[in-house]
Amino acid sequence: MTDRPLLLLDVDGPLNPHGARLLRPQGYTTHRFHPAIWLARQTPGSRRHRRGLRVRLNPGHGARLTALPYELAWATTWMHQANEMIAPAIGLPRDLPVIEWPELFTRDPEGLYWKTRHILAWAAGRPFAWVDDLITHRDTAHVATHHDAPALLLRIDPRRGLRDDDFARLEGWARDL
């Protein structure tokens, strides 16, 4: 553990701009993966099941992320498969810490994103930045109220993924701590 803040990474949205349905964003390459969470929702033997999930990744993101003054960790439904599939495709180490969700996609009684409470528990009072495409104002308010350390919740447009201004914001926030 270091004294650097955590950077909690979601895959779908920030790294894989899945909302860009027709056009592949510039600088991204297309991959076909078979993550367990996705396979479980497909009909065995179907064309989609055989072909795999189309994932668009920017191979330059790994170097940009590791250059930031953070300790990186996965905050994605891909869990350990992010280290196996996503990390090598973008040039990240294959041994990043992983938040293991006790349950996926559960409904929160206060309308929070289902990841929010688990992220707070996992961060255990450390400063963190979290990039995800489903963060809402409720999540931001909840973290501000229930987390004593600084936190940056950065909602990423799932049609665009992480962009230069997002990297600049992450860099500036960490440097200002």
Tens digit of each residue's pLDDT (9 = 90 or more) over 101-144: 988 888 888 989 999 999 999 999 999 999 999 999 999 999 99
Which amino acid makes up residue 93? P
Task: For the domain covering 6-21+58-176, report its CATH number.
Answer: 3.40.50
Percent of all residues in the chain with a pLDDT value above 90, rounded to a whole number: 81
Q: Which long-range contacts (CB under 8 A, 24 or more apart) does 20-29 make?
A: 20/56, 20/158, 20/159, 20/160, 20/161, 24/56, 25/56, 25/58, 25/160, 25/161, 27/58, 27/60, 28/56, 28/57, 28/58, 28/161, 29/56, 29/57, 29/58, 29/59, 29/89
How is 34-75 classified by DSSP, letter by letter?
--HHHHTTS-TTSHHHHH-EEEEE-TTHHHHHHHSSSEEEE-
Backbone φ/ψ region at 13: left (φ over 0), alpha (ψ -120 to 50), beta: left
- pLDDT exceeds 70 at position 1: no
pLDDT of residue 108: 86
Residue pair 166/131 in contact by the 8 Å Cβ criterion:
yes
Q: Give the tens place of pLDDT for each residue, 54-82.
A: 999 999 999 999 999 999 999 999 999 99
Is the Cα torsion angle 73, 74, 79, 82 positive or negative in sign? negative
Which amino acid makes up residue 114? W
Give residue 2's pLDDT band: very low, low, confident or very high (50, 70, 90).
low
Q: Please name the residues in contact with 177: beta carbons below 8 A apart, sequence gap of 6 or more.
A: 5, 127, 150
pLDDT of residue 84: 98
Q: Give the tens place of pLDDT for each residue, 29-47.
A: 999 999 988 998 889 989 9
Whole-structure pTM over 0.75, yes or no? Answer: yes
Give residue 24's pLDDT band: very low, low, confident or very high (50, 70, 90).
confident
**Number of other residues whose CB lies within 10 A of the CB of residue 140:** 17
